[in-house]
């Protein structure tokens, strides 16, 4: 029951962090294995979703450290699926916007990107993000603010050309 309810959010979060579907799938499984082993440590007042996302973040960081120690050869990039937009122009613009946003998100530090994604993509409150990231509430607010400022700067040129 917990897996069915929370796995999609955990998988989406890990997918955003890894940007690699097989790695995100594997990390999602690892997250729930660890959660099952530590379910007794969950306090009654703790929110299950932020607790799981905190475990997922730690799994991501461990996998990242492992990849840095043991780098694998980069596979050839597979073509992305084409949007099913009603017109080719809409598909082109949507794809371009996605690439620009992806490029801007990659320039953020992993910690800031994770905090921003938890807020925007997963809708967590600042307190839940603090719990998931192991930060103070003030640090969460600062990091998300700095991430937004950074993205505005990265996207300003693109947005000025689109208008």
Residues 112-129, mean pLDDT to the nearest whole number: 93
The confidence band for 102, taking pLDDT boundaries of 50, 70 and 90, is confident
* Burial class (CB within 10 angstroms; exposed 0-12, middle 13-18, buried 19+) of 29: middle
Pick the more confident residue, 41 or 152. 152
Best CA proximity match to 54, nearest among 75, 72, 35, 73: 35
Six-digit token string for 130: 């603090």
Pick the more confident residue, 119 or 82. 119
Pick the more confident residue, 26 or 75. 26
Q: Is the pLDDT of residue 108 over 90?
A: yes
Helix and strand numbers, DSSP H then E, in the chain: 7, 0
Residues 128-147: pLDDT tens digits?
999 999 999 999 999 999 99
Average pLDDT, the chain: 85
Residues 59-99: pLDDT tens digits?
999 998 888 887 766 666 666 665 454 566 666 666 777 88
Note the pLDDT of residue 151.
92
Residues 16-43, mean pLDDT to the nearest whole number: 89
Q: Taking the alpha carbons of 132, 64, 103, 101 in that order, is the dihedral positive or negative?
A: negative
């Amino acid at each position: 029951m917990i897996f069915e309810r929370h796995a999609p959010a955990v998988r989406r979060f890990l997918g955003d962090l890894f940007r690699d579907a097989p790695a995100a799938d594997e990390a999602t499984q690892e997250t729930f294995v660890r959660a099952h082993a530590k379910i007794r440590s969950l306090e009654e007042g703790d929110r299950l979703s932020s607790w799981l996302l905190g475990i997922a973040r730690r799994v991501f960081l461990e996998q990242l450290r492992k990849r840095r120690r043991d780098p694998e050869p980069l596979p050839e990039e597979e073509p992305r699926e084409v949007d099913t937009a009603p017109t080719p122009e809409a598909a082109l613009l949507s794809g371009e916007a996605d690439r620009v946003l992806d490029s801007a998100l990659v320039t953020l530090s992993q910690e800031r990107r994770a905090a921003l994604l938890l807020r925007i993509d997963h809708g967590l409150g600042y307190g839940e993000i603090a719990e998931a990231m192991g930060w103070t509430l003030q640090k969460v607010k600062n990091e998300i603010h700095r991430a937004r400022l950074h993205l505005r700067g990265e996207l300003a040129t693109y947005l000025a050309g689109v208008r």
